[in-house]
Amino acid sequence: MDLFLIGVEVKMQIDITRMENSCEDVSRLLKSMAHPTRLMILGHLIAGAKTVGELTDLCDISQSQMSHFLMRMSAEGLVNSEKRGKFKYYSVVDERLVSLMKAIQNHYCRH
């Protein structure tokens, strides 16, 4: 299939069989990410593990909202946590999320 964007021909290189075998998993992942605050949380966690308090300040939301987001993101397999002393540090679970977030930034965040 060929696609034309502003006079430029782009060859679509999608392996439909591979896509078909992974559609459910990819769909679940994208649905889990589909919220502006979740995208921002992932963006901050890509830079390194953070506590709830740090993420709350960075994302400018309440601690209860952040805890809710992190609990759900953890249950959906986007983030994990590690207890260090008195604090829980959250981080990105899968390096593929880092690649996906970079692709999103490269294609959709051009300011």
Cα angle for residues 32, 74, 25 (degrees, 5° grid): 40
**Is residue 11 scored above 70 in pLDDT?**
no
Per-residue pLDDT, 110: 79
What pTM value is reported for the model? 0.83
Percent share of the chain, pLDDT over 90: 76
Query: Per the structure block, which two tokens stand in for 8?
Result: 């430029």
Amino acid in position 73? M
pLDDT single digits (tens) 89-101:
999 999 999 999 9
Least confident of 1-15, 32-46, 73-87: 1-15
